């Protein structure tokens, strides 16, 4: 079984340990991959929706893994046992991932693999402000499309370290990496900001401080290219 490049990166960041929980598992592709490749001995495949969980159940059954993968109907981490060494929360908006982390008290020691589809900046800011460290981050794209996905490896260290406005846009771990995907990711952040500034300049009332903020971000991002 082969995973998409996005899911491959999620599997790579999950590493090798005893128990993995996949939140918003949908088809349970990642837990099945991690178990079949001997990377984890047990998995919790969790979803808030009965239909996705049914899909997961069918897939798990088809791979004869029902003794190794528990299917759990759960809103975020609410019903997930606390012995998960690694918690994956992928394929959702950054705000939803943030809310799931915020509402959880019993998985603080886990390694988190987070993959926001949107609002990665808001998620990074939440992590910095709440004592999480982004240990690693990478940008991946799929063969078939031009979309870029941020994947982060995160642990709660409890330290609230200082962070810059650039760290919110791309984590320090990513700033020192070189890849075509990272360059494309930064170029996209820059072009989005340039477009917003252009639209604001055409508006009747200009929010000068917002334009200044975006202009500074563009300079900082250009420095990372
Ligand atoms: C787009 S799929 C992502 C599937 C897979 N994780 C991936 O990255 O390809 C999003 C899944 O998250 C589930 N989901 C949405 N909100 C959730 C929540 N609060 N708790 C658990 N699962 C949730 C949805 O039901 C859906 O199956």
Cα 41 to middle of ligand 1, angstroms: 23
Q: Which of 190, 178, 181, 183 is nearest to 218 (CA)?
A: 190
Q: Which of 31-40, 151-160, 203-212 has the lowest mean pLDDT?
A: 203-212
Query: Are the beta carbons of 153 and 9 closer than 8 angstroms?
Result: no
Which of the listed residues 13, 24, 75 should we mutate to test ligand 1's pocket, taking the one with most ligand atoms within 8 A of CB? 24
Residue 168 in any domain: the answer is no
CATH code for position 14:
3.40.50.150
* Cβ count near 201 (within 10 Å): 9
How confident is the model over 2-20, as pLDDT tens digits? 899 999 999 999 999 999 9
* Cβ count near 195 (within 10 Å): 11
pLDDT of residue 144: 66
Query: Domain range for residue 200?
Result: 181-222
132 and 51: one domain?
A: yes
Cα 61 to middle of ligand 1, angstroms: 20
Pocket of ligand 1 (CB under 6 A): 23-26, 47-49, 52, 75-76, 90-92, 96, 100
pLDDT of residue 50: 98
pLDDT of residue 202: 86
101 and 192: one domain?
A: no
Residue 170 in any domain: the answer is no
Residue 197 in any domain: the answer is yes
111 and 144: one domain?
A: yes
Which of the listed residues 13, 92, 93 should we mutate to test ligand 1's pocket, taking the one with most ligand atoms within 8 A of CB? 92
pLDDT of residue 161: 84
Cα separation, 122 vs 116, whole angstroms? 10
Cα 26 to middle of ligand 1, angstroms: 6
User: Residue with the nearest Cα to atom 12 of ligand 1?
Assistant: 24
Task: Calculate mean pLDDT across residues 67-72.
Answer: 98
118 and 211: one domain?
A: no
- Residue 191: which residues within 8 A CB-CB, separation 6 or more? none
Domain count, the chain: 2
pLDDT band at 221 (very low <50, low <70, confident <90, very high): very high
Angle between helices 5-14 and 29-36 (to 10 degrees): 50
pTM of the model: 0.96
pLDDT of residue 201: 86
pLDDT of residue 1: 76
* Cβ count near 157 (within 10 Å): 11
Residue 46 in any domain: the answer is yes
Say which DSSP state 145 is in: -
User: Residue with the nearest Cα to atom 25 of ligand 1?
Assistant: 49
How confident is the model over 136-145, as pLDDT tens digits? 999 999 866 6
pLDDT of residue 127: 97
Query: Measured from the CA of 25, which atom of ligand 1 is nearest?
Result: 6
Mean pLDDT for all residues in the chain: 95
61 and 115: one domain?
A: yes
Cα 182 to middle of ligand 1, angstroms: 25
157 and 204: one domain?
A: no
Cα 101 to middle of ligand 1, angstroms: 14
159 and 191: one domain?
A: no
Question: Phi/psi of residue 212, each to 5°?
Answer: -65, -40
């Amino acid at each position: 079984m082969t995973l998409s490049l996005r899911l491959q990166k999620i599997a790579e960041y999950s590493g090798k340990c005893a128990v993995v929980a996949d939140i918003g598992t949908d088809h349970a592709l990642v837990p099945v991959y991690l178990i079949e490749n001997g990377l984890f001995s047990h998995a919790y495949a969790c979803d808030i929706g009965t239909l996705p969980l049914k899909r997961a159940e069918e897939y798990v059954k088809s791979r004869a893994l029902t003794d190794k993968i528990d299917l759990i109907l759960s809103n975020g981490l609410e019903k997930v046992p606390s012995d998960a060494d690694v918690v994956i929360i992928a394929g959702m908006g950054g705000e939803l991932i943030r809310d799931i982390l915020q509402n959880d008290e019993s998985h603080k020691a886990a390694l988190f693999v987070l993959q926001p589809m949107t609002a990665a900046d808001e998620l990074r800011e939440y992590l910095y402000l709440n004592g999480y460290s982004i240990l690693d981050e990478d940008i991946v794209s799929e063969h078939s499309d031009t979309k870029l996905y941020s994947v982060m490896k995160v642990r709660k260290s409890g330290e609230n370290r200082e962070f810059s406005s650039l760290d919110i846009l791309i984590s320090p771990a990513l700033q020192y990496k070189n890849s075509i995907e990272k360059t494309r990711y930064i170029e996209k952040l820059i072009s989005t900001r340039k477009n917003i500034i252009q639209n604001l300049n055409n508006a009747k009332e200009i929010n000068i401080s917002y334009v200044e903020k975006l202009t500074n971000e563009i300079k900082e991002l250009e420095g990372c290219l």
